[in-house]
A and B are shown apart, each in its own frame.
Chain A
Amino acid sequence: MELLIALSIGVLVACGVYLVLRASTFPVVMGLTLLSYATNLFLFAMGRLAIGVPAIVSQDAAGYTDPLPQALVLTAIVIAFGMTAFAIVLALKVRSETGSDHVDGKGGEV
C-alpha cells in the first residue's frame, strides 16, 4: 500500500507541475487541481496508514487511526474547492478581457 500511495502522490505532483507550467489558462487550472489532490493524499498518508481501525472513540476498537489528518484534509479540500472555482472564473475573465487563453494575455488563440 505504501508503494501505491507514494506512486499516486508522485504521479499526481509530476502531472500537476507539468500542467501548471503550460502557457494557457485551462491546463494551469487543471494542474492546480491535480496538485491539490496530491496534497490531500499526502496529508492523509502523513497520519500513518492503517486499515480497518476507527478514527473515533469506540467501545470495541482494537486501536485508533490518527483523526487529525482527516480534519486537515477536510479543511484542505474545502479551501481547494473554493480556490479552484475562483481560478476558473478568473481564467474565464482573462479569456473574455484579452481574447486569448494565454496566461500572459498575449497573442491570439493558443
Chain B
Amino acid sequence: MMHLPILPILLPLLAGILLLLLRPLGLQVQRMVGFAVTFALLMLAVWLFDGALVGQRQVYALGHWPAPFGITLVFDQLAALMLLLTAILAVGALWYAIVTEIDAQGSHFHVLFQMQLFGLNGAFLTGDAFNLFVFFEVLLLASYSLLLHGGGKERTVAGLHYVVVNLVGSTVFLFALGALYGALGTLNIADMAAKVAELPAEREGLVMAAGLLLLLVFGLKAAMFPLYLWLPAAYANTSAPVAALFAIMTKVGVYAIIRVHGTVFGEDAGSLAYFYAPWLLGLGLITLVLAALGVLAAFRLRIQVAYLVLASVAMLLIAVGLHSETGLAAALYYLVHSTLLAGGLFLLADVIVRGRGAYADRFDPGMRLPHHALLGGLFMFAAVAALGLPPLSGFFGKLWILQAALEHPWRWAVLATVLISSAILLIALARSGSVLFYKVKDRPDAADPVLPAQISAFAPSLMAVLWLLAAVPLLVLLAQPVAEIMQQIAAQTLDTAGYRAAVFDPAVGGK
C-alpha cells in the first residue's frame, strides 16, 4: 500500500522504455504491449480511485526526504479523479489509433503515447511546483511529437506554432517559479501555502505578481483568453486519436489552477485569498463568447470541435472562478463530461471524415455517408450533450454551474453569457449537422472522386467512439452518486489546512 501513489507514474515510464526496446519485434507486439499497459493503467486507476474515496490523502516522499526538503507526491481524491479520467480517455484513443492504423504512419507512436501518460500522471500527482514544471515539460515534449506524428504540411506548421507558444510559456513558468522561490523560499505547494499565510505585507505585491504569471502559464495550457489562438489549428490538424488524448491537455491547465492557486492562495492566504478568482471568471466569460463565435465561424468540422473544446474549458474557468464549493464540484462534474465528450467527438469527426472521401470535414454538401443514420444519430447525440440541452450530461453540468453562479455577485453576467453562448452553439451545430447529413447530392458530380463504399475498420473504430461517449448517459443515470462524489472531492480539495497537515506530517494524512 505504501508505494501505490507512484505506480501510475512508473507504469507508463517503464512501459515506454520497454516499447522502445521491443521495436525490432514489429508493430503488432508494440500494439499489444501498449494496449495491455494502458488497460492495466485503467484498472489501477479504478482501484486507486475507489481507495481514495474512502481513505485519507497519501503522501509519498521520494527518496524518503521529508517535505519541504524533498519532492513529494500527493495522492488525493482530485488527483485520483484526474488519473482515472486520463486512463479512460487513453484506452479509447489508443484503441482507435490501433484499429485505424494511424499508429503505423510514423515511428514510435506507442512509446510517445506512454510518455504522454507518464507526463500527465506525474503532473496530477506531484505536490511540488518545480516538479510540476518538469512533468509539464515531459508531457509537452511527448505532445509535440504526437502532434506531428504522421506529418503533412499543415500539421507541421500548426505544430511549429504550438511548440513555440509552449516554449515561451515554459519560460514564463520558470520566471514565475523563480519569483515565488525568491519571495517564499520554497517550491513545495503545501509549504508555499504555509508561507503565504504569514507573508509580510511588503512582499504581497511580488507574490501576487508571481501568482498572476503562474495563472498566465496555466491559462496558456488551458487555452484561456487571450492565449487560446494556438488551440484550433493544433487540435484540428493533428490525427484524431492524438486530438482525443489532447482533450485532457487543456484540463491539465485547469487542474493546475485548482491545485496550485487553490492551495497556495486558498482561504488562509489573508489578503491574497482567492485574488485570482475574478481574473479567472472574467477571462472565462470572454473565452466562452469567443469560443461560441469560433464554433459558429468554423468552416471545417474538426475546427468546430476544437472550438467546442475551448467552450468547455471556458465553462470550467467560469466554474472555478466562482470559488465556491458548489462551483468546484460542478466544475469537476463538467470536467469529466467535457473531456470524454471532446475525445469522443474528435474520434467521431474522424469517422465522418473517412466516410466523406475528398470532402473531408469541410462543410460542403457531399455524397451520402455510409452508415449515415447511425453516424448522424451519434453526431446529434454528441451535439446535444456538448450544447448542454436536456436530457444529457452537458445539461446537468451547465445547470449545476449556473446554480453555483447564483450565489456570486456577477450572476447576471454569468447567466447571460452562458445562455447566449449556448444558443449560438445550438445554431452552429444545427447548421453543421444539416450540411453533413441532410444536404447530400443525389448523383456524384464528374469532379467527385469515387467514395469508399465502406469505411475501413468501421465497427471497431466506432467502438472507441462509443466507449468515450458512453460517459454521457452514464453521468446522467448515475447523476446522484456522481454528484455526491464530486462534492466530496471538492470539499477535500478546498480543505487546504488538511492538505498542508498531510504533507508535513504523513502520519496525519494516513497511509
Q: A residues bordering B, Cβ < 8 Å?
A: 16, 20, 25, 28, 32, 35-36, 38-39, 42-43, 45-48, 68-69, 72, 75-76, 79, 82-83, 86-87, 90-91, 93-94, 97-98, 103-105
Interface flag for B177 (CB, 8 Å): yes
Q: How far is the CA of A90 from the CA of B179 in the complex (A)?
A: 31
Q: How far is the CA of A79 from the CA of B137 in the complex (A)?
A: 8
Distance in Å: Cβ of B160 to nearest Cβ of chain A:
5
6 smallest beta-carbon distances between A and B, as pairs: A46-B182, A39-B174, A105-B157, A46-B178, A35-B171, A43-B178
Contact B168 A103 (CB under 8 A): no
Interface centre among B156, B160, B187 (most CB of A within 10 A): B160
Distance in Å: Cβ of B68 to nearest Cβ of chain A:
10
* CB-CB nearest in chain A for B174: A39
Interface centre among A25, A47, A72 (most CB of B within 10 A): A72
Residue interface bits B392-404, CB-to-A below 8 A is 1, else 0:
0000000000000
Chain B, 150-182, CB within 8 A of any chain A CB: 151, 153, 156-157, 159-161, 163-164, 167-168, 170-171, 174-175, 177-179, 181-182
Contact B167 A72 (CB under 8 A): no
With known contacts A20-B164, A79-B134, A83-B141, A98–B170 Cβ distance under 8 A = no
SS of B interface (majority): helix
* CB-CB nearest in chain A for B183: A46
* CB-CB nearest in chain B for A25: B160
Q: B residues bordering A, Cβ < 8 Å?
A: 130, 134, 137, 141, 144, 148, 151, 153, 156-157, 159-161, 163-164, 167-168, 170-171, 174-175, 177-179, 181-182, 187
Residues from chain A with Cβ under 8 Å of B130 in the complex: 72, 75
Distance in Å: Cβ of B367 to nearest Cβ of chain A:
31
Residues from chain A with Cβ under 8 Å of B148 in the complex: 90, 93
Contact B167 A83 (CB under 8 A): yes
Residues from chain B with Cβ under 8 Å of A72 in the complex: 130, 177-178, 181, 187
Question: A43 touches which one: B161, B167, B177 (CB < 8 A)?
Answer: B177
* CB-CB nearest in chain A for B138: A79
* CB-CB nearest in chain A for B162: A90
Residues from chain A with Cβ under 8 Å of B156 in the complex: 90, 93-94, 97-98, 105
Contact A32 B164 (CB under 8 A): yes
Q: How far is the CA of A75 from the CA of B170 in the complex (A)?
A: 13
Contact B157 A94 (CB under 8 A): yes
Contact B174 A76 (CB under 8 A): yes
* CB-CB nearest in chain A for B155: A97
Question: A91 touches which one: B153, B160, B171 (CB < 8 A)?
Answer: B160
* CB-CB nearest in chain A for B134: A75
Residues from chain A with Cβ under 8 Å of B170 in the complex: 79, 83
Q: How far is the CA of A94 from the CA of B155 in the complex (A)?
A: 10
Distance in Å: Cβ of A60 to nearest Cβ of chain B:
24
Distance in Å: Cβ of B164 to nearest Cβ of chain A:
6
Contact A83 B137 (CB under 8 A): yes
* CB-CB nearest in chain A for B157: A105
Distance in Å: Cβ of B66 to nearest Cβ of chain A:
15
Q: How far is the CA of A97 from the CA of B182 in the complex (A)?
A: 44
Contact B157 A32 (CB under 8 A): no
Q: How far is the CA of A90 from the CA of B187 in the complex (A)?
A: 33
Besides the known contacts A72-B181, A97-B156, 18 further A-B residue pairs in the complex with CB atoms under 8 A apart: A16-B171, A20-B168, A32-B171, A39-B171, A42-B174, A42-B175, A43-B181, A45-B182, A46-B182, A72-B177, A83-B137, A90-B144, A90-B160, A93-B156, A94-B160, A98-B157, A105-B156, A105-B160
Contact A86 B178 (CB under 8 A): no
Question: A98 touches which one: B141, B151, B153 (CB < 8 A)?
Answer: B153
Q: How far is the CA of A32 from the CA of B168 in the complex (A)?
A: 7
Residues from chain B with Cβ under 8 Å of A87 in the complex: 163-164, 167
Residues from chain B with Cβ under 8 Å of A47 in the complex: 181-182
Supply 11 A–B pairs (Cβ within 8 Å), ascending by A.
A46-B178, A72-B181, A79-B137, A82-B141, A90-B148, A90-B159, A94-B157, A97-B151, A98-B153, A103-B157, A105-B157
Residues from chain B with Cβ under 8 Å of A69 in the complex: 178, 181
Distance in Å: Cβ of A58 to nearest Cβ of chain B:
19
Contact B174 A90 (CB under 8 A): no
* CB-CB nearest in chain A for B137: A79
Distance in Å: Cβ of A68 to nearest Cβ of chain B:
7
Distance in Å: Cβ of B177 to nearest Cβ of chain A:
7
Q: How far is the CA of A105 from the CA of B160 in the complex (A)?
A: 10
Question: B157 touches which one: A42, A48, A104 (CB < 8 A)?
Answer: A104
Question: B163 touches which one: A42, A86, A104 (CB < 8 A)?
Answer: A86
Question: B164 touches which one: A28, A68, A82, A93 (CB < 8 A)?
Answer: A28
Contact A86 B141 (CB under 8 A): yes
Residues from chain B with Cβ under 8 Å of A91 in the complex: 160
Q: How far is the CA of A105 from the CA of B153 in the complex (A)?
A: 8
Contact A35 B168 (CB under 8 A): yes
Q: How far is the CA of A69 from the CA of B130 in the complex (A)?
A: 11
Question: B174 touches which one: A16, A43, A103 (CB < 8 A)?
Answer: A43
